[in-house]
Amino acid sequence: MFTFAAPVHVHAQEADPMPKTALVIHGGAGYVARESLSVQDEQDARADLNRALDAGHQVLAAGGSALDAVQAAVRVLEESPRFNAGKGAVFNADGGHELDASIMEGHTRRAGAVAGVTTVRSPITLARAVMEHSPHVMLAAQGAEAFADTRPEIERVPNDWFDTDKRRQQLDAAKRKEQAARSAGTDAADEPGKYFGTVGAVALDRHGHIAAATSTGGMTNKKWGRVGDAPIIGAGTWADRQCGVSGTGWGEFYIRNAVAHDICARVAYRGDSLGDAAEEVVNRIVTAAGGDGGAIALDVDGNIAMPFNSGTMYRGWIHPDGSRGVAIFED
């Protein structure tokens, strides 16, 4: 007796290959001179990027969601003192820390964000809790802290837990520069490269769903509860059915130009390739307006774009074919 079940089954498998997954992360854009980064510092940064890739990829490889993957990757970067998020957050003008984060799921357009939190160890975890356990998208400052009080799974720490010597030195340098400008009767003007930092991730899962997440400590010496683009949906973070973006750079310009959304809108409405859309927005529109920075972007086909114009962007990627890498400088 002959059966055609096996040949048909094999043919079906060949026609329906394993769905693709992909992941891209960043640890912030800015300018870091090669000679200022020691061999050990570079090795440590690359190791942290690889740990974040491993955390996100483990979720995706097990069939998990893009949302879980970006949270897992960003959580690793928040725990590192080498990036401006979580443990490595910069100091504000008062000598404290105010942290921001956002997360978005593309196929549902669900999103959550927090701004100006001071005792939350993982702002990205709180942002997801806002998305899943509140009727709101963004909570800020004392309100976000009060919401965190209602969620026993949110780990809390004293504000000085975020202190690091490196960030203290950066604050001292910023204050000296500010004082020198004041003494000279000039403005301590903002400048390109000053707003470096931030971490983020964008993932594509085997269901074809995209999610994006971003977390930051903001800018050194920030005043008046300043909030940048990272927690603003459409500015620093965006995901839809076709595309996801996490930005890093001079936040005011990312807000004014709705950078994350604009990249994906060009893909959706004009049919631009992901690479062309990201390049146009980050390296032409933002720079023409006077800003700088970078972004990571991923589309539903697994294409990845990582444009930046700041000289440096800590980044890592895993393509659908499994190839991976991390990089810091332009090469």
CB distance 34 to 295 below 8 Å: no
CB distance 260 to 247 below 8 Å: yes
The predicted pLDDT at position 88 comes to 96
**Does the pLDDT of residue 13 top 70, yes or no?**
no
pLDDT confidence of 197, banded at 50, 70, 90?
A: confident
The predicted pLDDT at position 322 comes to 97
pLDDT confidence of 188, banded at 50, 70, 90?
A: low
User: Is 312 among the catalytic positions?
Assistant: no
The predicted pLDDT at position 8 comes to 38
The residues facing 112 across adjacent strands are 103
The predicted pLDDT at position 189 comes to 54
For the chain, the average pLDDT equals 92
The total number of residues shown for the chain amounts to: 331
Residue with tokens 């443990």: 87
- Residues 297-310: pLDDT tens digits? 999 999 999 999 99
* List 118, 119, 125, 198, catalytic entry: 198
DSSP 159: G
**Does the pLDDT of residue 187 top 90, yes or no?**
no
Hey, is 43 helix, strand or coil? helix
**Does the pLDDT of residue 3 top 60, yes or no?**
no
pTM for this predicted structure: 0.92
- Residues 138-182: pLDDT tens digits? 999 999 999 999 999 999 999 999 999 999 999 999 999 989 988
What is the arithmetic mean of pLDDT over 316-321?
Answer: 98
The predicted pLDDT at position 4 comes to 35
What is the arithmetic mean of pLDDT over 99-106?
Answer: 98
Q: How far apart are CA 328 and CA 331, in angstroms?
A: 8
What is the arithmetic mean of pLDDT over 221-227?
Answer: 96
